Amino acid sequence: MPRLGEGAPAGAGEDADVRAAYRACRRIVREAHSAEYALLHLMPPQIRPACWALYAAFHTADGLIDTTEGTPAQRSEHLAAWTAALRTEADHGRSRDPVRRALVDTVRRWEIDLDDLQESLSALAADADGTAPATWHDWRARVKSQNTGWVGQFLRLLERCGVRFPVDLGQLAAVSGFLDGLYLTDTLADLADDVNRGTLTLPTEVLNRFPGAGSDLPARHFSPGVQALVAHLLQRARQSLNDGHDELRHHLHPGADILLQSIVALFRARLDVAEKSGAAILQHPCEPDRLTRWRIMAPARFKAFLLWRLVPLHTPPAARPQAGVPQQRTPGSPQPRSTTVTVPAVPVPAHPSGALPPAIDRDRLPHHVAIIMDGNGRWAAGRGQPRTAGHTAGVRVLRDMAMGALEIGLAHLSLYTFSTENWNRSADEVFHIFRVLGDELEDGWILRHDIRLRWIGDAQRVPCDLAAKIRDQEAATRHRTGLTLNLCLDYGGRTELARAGSAIARAARTGDLTHGDMTERDFARYLPYPEMPDVDLLWRTGGEQRLSNLLPWHASYAELHFTSELWPQVDRRDLWQVISDHTHRRRRYGTATSPDAPPAARTETEIT
């Protein structure tokens, strides 16, 4: 195929200004971000121009905020205008601005989710007035909001080429911590520039921790307080890089591993320069010299060159679907990457029997129902059929349950689709489960209804095509306000708690946790989805009476409901009956109440 700029596929009939736009983006990155420019050379050749476009767009938007020209309000207005122009131009497919021209082509060619980028662009405005975050928690939230969308799109580009990068819910804390280390390294390396602009973004709490640092740093006085502050930040950045590196490198695609090792080595070198600079850290940026960069990057580029020559990669043809409209597919055609769904959700189809949901007061309706879908294999065996037939039938029930939850007005429904223990089943059975689930998602019914899909579980072992389908529909439905459908796939509750414990230990090492007592709310912050509400009702089909490691933290106060029917035998009417029965129970949370007293509220306890 023809190439754009440096080694990326171009669509037929590309005009000269598109190529010029990509070259302009490449030049911007090379001149303004030499370290990142070197790292982007480790990406597959097919996606490098898209990487130039993404990074140049980030640089341009960040420059609109970091400039000293104009008032903070004016800088925010300039960024808002630039972002609005990008949205309009993406809709039309053209732009006169070279950076936006390349980005528009990248968005359309690779089906980048522009909503993610716009959220990150909007978050940059928080730096316009130079207001520093109050705490490390606030600082981390700002870093995440400004950078996650961009990082996600780089990973999406790798995924589109067939490079697997295991960024999943279970490792979200590691990814977030690693980004903290990168951003803090950037802050230290560019500290002199930030002092020049008067826009220090360090948390107020860390400045207050070192006497005099808050006043001496803007004055470029390398006082003992500033020295201690810099030493603390250097140690924190190294710890974050090391912890993230140790967790992320497991089970990576070789190309992703080369990239990760090079990022860590290059950013450690930047920290080494900052550490050796002494007072000069307040006078000029701290970057490793060309020889150091060459020693790190030359072997990495050679390895990447060989790898991308030897490893088969695929570059899907550019798809340009109409925004928000699910596309019809022909058999065997690639699944298009979804963007945010903007078309109105269609009405919920009625149950074939004509049954209607019971009338239940909203204040008595459970907020979150979790279901252990048990009995597929026994249902098939009872009919003399293979176990796989039971899974095929069971997947069809999944859709009907979601429709029933929508009809009755349920806010959250969690379905235990595949546990970490299910890997002990035969390879044929596991493959069939994933295949029928992928086929069910392919229909697009989630996109057609007011459903927000979320994947709760581990992405490392799930087939890439299924993982991509789920992630795409997650992204496409993330702004939905109806039913939140939690798909617990390759999920293990103990694993979730163990990873939360590891994240807490890491936070303690970096100083984020400075007290000995921790509340439930503190602990929940380190779970993959801390905002997910507690389970009010847990229902298990199939006659067994076990919780099977499902949502142990969230289901600790759940009402339990066990039924003998096998999963393929039930439908939305059974869900309504279970919910109706639940409304007649009284939840006391350990209190002693009279029959007429209102339900007790659960109080938060302290873990010591």
SS3 489: strand
User: Nearest 10 degrees: CA dihedral of 456, 462, 463, 468?
Assistant: 20
Question: 175 and 87, same structural domain?
Answer: no
Phi, psi (degrees; rounded to nearest 5) at 168: -130, 175
In this prediction, residue 388 has a pLDDT band, given cuts at 50, 70 and 90, of: very high
Position with higher pLDDT, 101 vs 142: 101
- pLDDT given for residue 332 in this prediction: 35
- pLDDT given for residue 246 in this prediction: 78
Is pLDDT at 186 greater than 60 in this prediction? yes
- pLDDT given for residue 514 in this prediction: 64
Lowest mean pLDDT of 211-225, 318-332, 364-378, name the range.
318-332
Question: Mean pLDDT, to the nearest integer, of 439-454?
Answer: 93
In this prediction, residue 596 has a pLDDT band, given cuts at 50, 70 and 90, of: low
Q: What is the pLDDT of residues 5-62, one digit of tens each?
A: 444 444 434 578 899 999 999 999 999 888 889 999 999 998 999 999 999 999 999 8
Lowest mean pLDDT of 159-168, 208-217, 242-251, 435-444, name the range.
159-168
- pLDDT given for residue 173 in this prediction: 62
Return d(Cα 555, Cα 541) in angstroms, integer.
17
Q: Tell me how far apart the 2 most distant CA atoms of the chain are, in Å.
A: 82
Question: 428 and 529, same structural domain?
Answer: yes
Is pLDDT at 545 greater than 70 in this prediction? yes
Is pLDDT at 366 greater than 80 in this prediction? yes
Q: What is the pLDDT of residues 174-183, one digit of tens each?
A: 677 888 899 9
- pLDDT given for residue 244 in this prediction: 79
Active site residue 422: yes
Alpha-carbon radius of gyration of the chain: 26
Is pLDDT at 321 greater than 60 in this prediction? no
* Residues forming a β-bridge with 372: 416, 540
- Residue 597, in any domain of the structure: no
- pLDDT given for residue 22 in this prediction: 95
The domain that contains 64 carries what CATH number?
1.10.600.10
Domain boundary among 77, 106, 129: 129
Alpha-carbon distances of 16 from 88, 318, 483, rounded to whole Å = 22, 18, 47
Question: 429 and 381, same structural domain?
Answer: yes
Question: Mean pLDDT, to the nearest integer, of 233-239?
Answer: 93
Question: 570 and 440, same structural domain?
Answer: yes
Percent of the chain whose pLDDT exceeds 90:
49
Alpha-carbon distances of 569 from 229, 386, 432, 531, 580, rounded to whole Å = 64, 16, 20, 33, 19
Is pLDDT at 506 greater than 70 in this prediction? yes
Return d(Cα 261, Cα 249) in angstroms, integer.
8
Q: Minimal CA–CA distance to 90: which of 71, 75, 105?
A: 105
Is pLDDT at 548 greater than 60 in this prediction? yes
Lowest mean pLDDT of 97-101, 207-211, 589-593, name the range.
589-593
Is pLDDT at 335 greater than 70 in this prediction? no
Token pair for 377: 């294999």
Instruction: Give the strand pairing for 368-372 and 537-540.
Output: parallel
Domain that residue 99 falls in: 1-129
Return d(Cα 419, Cα 388) in angstroms, integer.
17
Alpha-carbon distances of 6 from 16, 162, 259, rounded to whole Å = 14, 19, 18
Question: 422 and 292, same structural domain?
Answer: no
Position with higher pLDDT, 338 vs 69: 69
Return d(Cα 113, Cα 111) in angstroms, integer.
6
Return d(Cα 494, Cα 569) in angstroms, integer.
30
Return d(Cα 289, Cα 273) in angstroms, integer.
9
Contact in structure between 44 and 308 (CB atoms under 8 Å): yes
Best mean pLDDT range from 191-200, 483-492, 593-602: 483-492
Helix axes 48-66, 16-32, angle to 10 degrees: 60
Question: 506 and 419, same structural domain?
Answer: yes
- Residue 326, in any domain of the structure: no
Instruction: Give the strand pairing for 451-456 and 483-491.
Output: parallel
Contact in structure between 143 and 180 (CB atoms under 8 Å): yes
Helix axes 172-189, 136-160, angle to 10 degrees: 110
Question: 125 and 168, same structural domain?
Answer: no
Return d(Cα 224, Cα 230) in angstroms, integer.
10
Please give the span between the terminal C-alpha atoms of the chain, in angstroms, as a whole number.
Answer: 62
The domain that contains 376 carries what CATH number?
3.40.1180.10
Q: What is the pLDDT of residues 495-505, one digit of tens each?
A: 889 888 887 88
Q: Minimal CA–CA distance to 210: which of 195, 198, 227?
A: 227
Q: Minimal CA–CA distance to 581: which of 423, 383, 366, 402?
A: 366
- pLDDT given for residue 325 in this prediction: 37
- Residue 158, in any domain of the structure: no
Q: Which listed residue (138, 422, 450, 522) is catalytic?
A: 422
- pLDDT given for residue 599 in this prediction: 52
Return d(Cα 344, Cα 449) in angstroms, integer.
8
- pLDDT given for residue 390 in this prediction: 95
- Residue 251, in any domain of the structure: yes
SS (H, E, C) 228-250: HHHHHHHHHHHHHHHHHHHHHCC
- pLDDT given for residue 468 in this prediction: 82
Q: Minimal CA–CA distance to 281: which of 342, 216, 378, 333?
A: 216
Q: Minimal CA–CA distance to 337: which of 161, 473, 152?
A: 473
- pLDDT given for residue 543 in this prediction: 92
Question: 433 and 573, same structural domain?
Answer: yes
- pLDDT given for residue 604 in this prediction: 45
Q: Which listed residue (113, 374, 400, 574) is catalytic?
A: 374
In this prediction, residue 144 has a pLDDT band, given cuts at 50, 70 and 90, of: confident
Is pLDDT at 322 greater than 60 in this prediction? no
- pLDDT given for residue 605 in this prediction: 41
User: Nearest 10 degrees: CA dihedral of 283, 286, 290, 295?
Assistant: 160
Q: What is the pLDDT of residues 389-438, one digit of tens each?
A: 999 999 999 999 999 999 999 999 999 999 999 999 998 899 999 999 99
Instruction: Give the strand pairing for 8-9 and 3-4.
Output: antiparallel
Q: How far is CA 169 from the centre of its chain?
A: 7
In this prediction, residue 588 has a pLDDT band, given cuts at 50, 70 and 90, of: low
- pLDDT given for residue 110 in this prediction: 84
Best mean pLDDT range from 56-70, 449-463, 474-488, 562-576: 562-576
Is pLDDT at 440 greater than 90 in this prediction? yes
- pLDDT given for residue 375 in this prediction: 94
- pLDDT given for residue 516 in this prediction: 64
Is pLDDT at 515 greater than 80 in this prediction? no
Lowest mean pLDDT of 153-157, 353-357, 551-555, name the range.
153-157
Question: Mean pLDDT, to the nearest integer, of 222-245?
Answer: 92
Q: What is the pLDDT of residues 295-317, one digit of tens each?
A: 999 999 999 999 998 887 766 55
SS3 275: helix
- Residue 87, in any domain of the structure: yes
DSSP state of 608: -
- Residue 429, in any domain of the structure: yes
Domain boundary among 312, 344, 374: 312
Question: 187 and 120, same structural domain?
Answer: no
DSSP state of 322: P
Helix axes 114-124, 136-160, angle to 10 degrees: 150
Active site residue 486: no
Q: How far is CA 508 from the centre of its chain?
A: 23
Instruction: Give the strand pairing for 368-372 and 451-456.
Output: unpaired
Question: 189 and 66, same structural domain?
Answer: no
DSSP H or E segment with residue 461:
none
- Residue 173, in any domain of the structure: yes
Lowest mean pLDDT of 204-208, 267-271, 379-383, 520-524, name the range.
520-524
Is pLDDT at 487 greater than 90 in this prediction? yes
Domain boundary among 79, 110, 129: 129
Question: 231 and 117, same structural domain?
Answer: no
Is pLDDT at 586 greater than 70 in this prediction? no
Say how many domains are in the chain: 3
Residue 237 burial (CB < 10 Å; 0-12/13-18/19+)? buried
Return d(Cα 432, Cα 7) in angstroms, integer.
38
Return d(Cα 343, Cα 545) in angstroms, integer.
42
Return d(Cα 276, Cα 188) in angstroms, integer.
12
- Residue 455, in any domain of the structure: yes
Question: 250 and 399, same structural domain?
Answer: no
